[in-house]
Amino acid sequence: MRTKKLLALLVILLLLPALAAGEVTTIKLTFVGDCTLGGHEGWMNYSIGTFKVMQQEVGNYTYFLEKVQDIFAQDDCTIVNLEVVLADSARGLNPERKWNFRGATDYVNILTQGSVEAVTLGNNHTMDFGRPGFDSTRETLKAAGVSYCIDQEVFFFERDGARVAFLGFWETSFRRHKKWLATEIPRLKAEEGCDAVVILYHGGREYNVKHAKSQQEDMRWAIDAGADLVVGHHPHVLQGIEQYNNRAIYYSLGDFCYGGNRKPREVEYPTIVLGVELAFDEHGLAWQQATIHPARISGTAPRNNYQPYLVTGDQALDVMTRLQNDTTHELAPYVEGQGAVQPKLYAREETP
């Protein structure tokens, strides 16, 4: 049986288009942080200020992500942290949790109409409504054609002969899966034809503007295990960037379209849209390059309007300062109309 599987895999790999010598293929990815498309179950009957009320007031699904469409619609794949259960009832509600986040299954249209192709479910709210809510979320995403990853469920993105694997974890699950990851990441590259592996890590201390030692240890471990890019969220605030072993770590992207707080703290408002271009040659990943687009999670304060938007001027400089305060290397500056385009990070020392 094992021989037949290996032969079948060999046939698949031979059929995949390979990159010719000297040819470079690029994949443009976009990442944002926590997206809670809904709110706490206890708010469902509120008449003001909730995500549900805002959706009813605007009467459509494009509203929530429309101000970032210039970026989302022009990349190859947009990935968000979907920190909500998509279900049409509260069945399975976990009474031991303080916050139980739920949105209607129709809210998946916010993703599809917002040019979001994939999500990670690897976070601490995926099981707010137990197995019924989890199954509803996955079935809703599948029916809408939105890819997802969580724990050992991987999603793949392919373009012009290059293949990228995405894995998503809540921090406690990440640590439980370290033994598996130590063999799975090399296997994805050796047996599944993946040219890069991206880890989406949900962990850290909430509202702490400096990344924790535990985050650094976990995310560096992922790079040492073979990951090529690690993108984090959960603290609800921006944290810094690290270049480690020719790879990039983004400790926390902060919140984004976040229905989990009707009146966000001031520190929650600054956020980013992170663009990462991965370039591949015949040897695999050649380089990666990031573009940081400063943003805010809401156009109104103190009440959330759940519509993140790009910022310029002093607000953009404030976002960059917050990132720099938790980053040891000097970040390239923000430029109006371009974002903060960072230097290429070459994957191999011999690359000039």
SS3 state of residue 147? strand
pLDDT reading at 19 higher than 70: no
Q: Which residues have a Cβ under 8 Å from the Cβ of 330 and sit 6 or more positions away?
A: 324
Q: Does 82 map to a domain?
A: yes
Q: What is the pLDDT of residue 23?
A: 87
Q: Does 96 map to a domain?
A: yes
Q: What is the pLDDT of residue 16?
A: 47
pLDDT tens digits, 230-252: 999 999 999 999 999 999 999 99
CA-nearest of 268, 142, 162 to 209 is 268
β-strand partners of 101: 40
pLDDT reading at 89 higher than 60: yes
pLDDT tens digits, 287-304: 999 999 999 999 999 999
Q: What is the pLDDT of residue 116?
A: 98
Q: Does 19 map to a domain?
A: no
Q: Does 16 map to a domain?
A: no
Q: Does 13 map to a domain?
A: no
Q: Does 5 map to a domain?
A: no
pLDDT tens digits, 23-53: 899 999 999 999 999 999 999 999 999 999 9
Q: What is the pLDDT of residue 20?
A: 57
- In terms of C-beta distances under 8 Å and separation of at least 24 residues, what long-range contacts does 90-99 make, across chains too? 90/41, 90/129, 91/129, 91/132, 91/133, 92/129, 92/130, 92/131, 92/132, 92/133, 93/41, 93/128, 93/129, 93/130, 93/133, 94/127, 94/128, 94/129, 94/130, 97/128, 99/40, 99/125, 99/128, 99/260
The CATH number that applies at residue 123 is: 3.60.21
Q: What is the pLDDT of residue 10?
A: 44
pLDDT tens digits, 100-156: 999 999 999 999 999 999 999 999 999 999 999 999 999 999 999 999 999 999 999
Q: What is the pLDDT of residue 179?
A: 98
Q: What is the pLDDT of residue 129?
A: 98
| pLDDT bucket at 351, cuts 50 / 70 / 90 | very low
* CA atoms of 244 and 227, how far apart (whole Å): 11
Query: Tokens 């049986």 sit at which residue?
Result: 1
Q: Which helix (H) or strand (E) holds 31?
A: strand 25-36
- Which amino acid, 151? D
- Average pLDDT of span 1-15: 45
- Average pLDDT of span 63-77: 97
Number of domains comprising the chain? 1
Q: Does 289 map to a domain?
A: yes
Global pTM value: 0.93
CA-nearest of 81, 66, 77 to 114 is 66
pLDDT reading at 15 higher than 50: no
The answer to whether the beta carbons of residues 292 and 276 sit under 8 Å apart is: no
By residue range, what is the domain housing residue 35? 24-346
pLDDT reading at 4 higher than 60: no
pLDDT tens digits, 313-344: 999 999 999 999 999 999 999 999 999 999 99
Q: Does 135 map to a domain?
A: yes
* CA atoms of 261 and 248, how far apart (whole Å): 30
pLDDT tens digits, 266-286: 999 999 999 999 999 999 999
SS3 state of residue 345? strand
CA-nearest of 6, 13, 3, 7 to 195 is 13
Q: What is the pLDDT of residue 6?
A: 46
